[in-house]
Copies of this chain bind each other. A is one copy, B any other.
Amino acid sequence: MVVEFYYHPQSPPCCLVWMVIKELDIPHKAILVDMMKMEHREDAYKKINPKMQLPAVRDGDLTLTESRAIAVYLSAKYGKGKKNENLYPKDLTEQARFNELMMADVDNYHKMLNYLNPEAIFDGRAKGVVTELLPKCEAVLAEYEAVVKSQDYMFGNHLTFLDFACVHTLGCIEMGGFDDWTKYPNLKRWSAKLRKLPYYEECVKKPTESNNRDFQQFLKEGSAMYTKDAKP
């Protein structure tokens, strides 16, 4: 019996889980749910996740959604004895410090989303990104830049799945057109390390490029990209 992983490569929460699976070399069956064809809204997937969101993971009788909950579970269950067995820390105090940063990253991700404004653009309430919120996103970059100034990774000097979460939070900002990382030399150094992961190309680079291209198109065409019934 292997872990079933329902995903789409262009979904950042899916990519977070995907990286955990790859890093821990978890035996799994990857099941593509094509969001672009609205397969996540079809009955077959609704039976897996009634909320119709990706990703989902099935491990025996347990079906889990919510990427960070999945990442904690998979890291704790399948990390033992692996090279990076602390992809999620085991010690209570370390877990607390990790959870703190993980929850802060969720907030930061929402700051990025507030700037990118996809929902309001789709609903026709706005025509583009909220440029006034770009400074708040840059403050997020500065926050992460400070974190990796004195350490190799987002949680100390070893890889954790917080790095996987942060790479997507930070990548978000490029969807709005941002591409000047000169003020963030330590983030560039951190990013260069992640780029060496054997699954980086598949789980980060390709999806990010596709998302940036699609979002620029979305900005031009807005809700016309979708029919009303096929709301994403």
Contact = CB atoms under 8 A, between A and B. Distances in A.
Interface string A179-200: 0000000000000000000000
Interface string A52-78: 000000000010111111101100110
Contacts of A103: 66-69, 106
Contact of A69 (B69, B96, B123): B96
A229 to B, nearest CB: 16
Interface in A22-73: 51, 62, 64-70, 72-73
Contacts of A119: 114
A92 B104 CA distance: 23
Nearest to A98: B69
Contacts of A104: 51, 65-66
Contacts of A96: 62, 64, 69-70, 72-73
Contacts of A130: 125
A99 B66 contact: yes
A97 interface: yes
Given A69-B99, A69-B100, A99-B72, A77 B92 contact: yes
Nearest to A123: B132
A206 interface: no
Contacts of A92: 73, 76-77
A154 interface: no
A93 interface: yes
A102 interface: yes
19 contacts: A51-B104, A62-B93, A64-B96, A66-B99, A69-B99, A69-B100, A69-B102, A70-B96, A72-B95, A72-B99, A73-B92, A73-B93, A73-B95, A73-B96, A73-B99, A76-B92, A77-B92, A125-B130, A125-B132
Given A62-B96, A123-B132, 8 more contacts: A51-B104, A68-B103, A69-B99, A70-B96, A72-B95, A76-B92, A103-B106, A106-B106
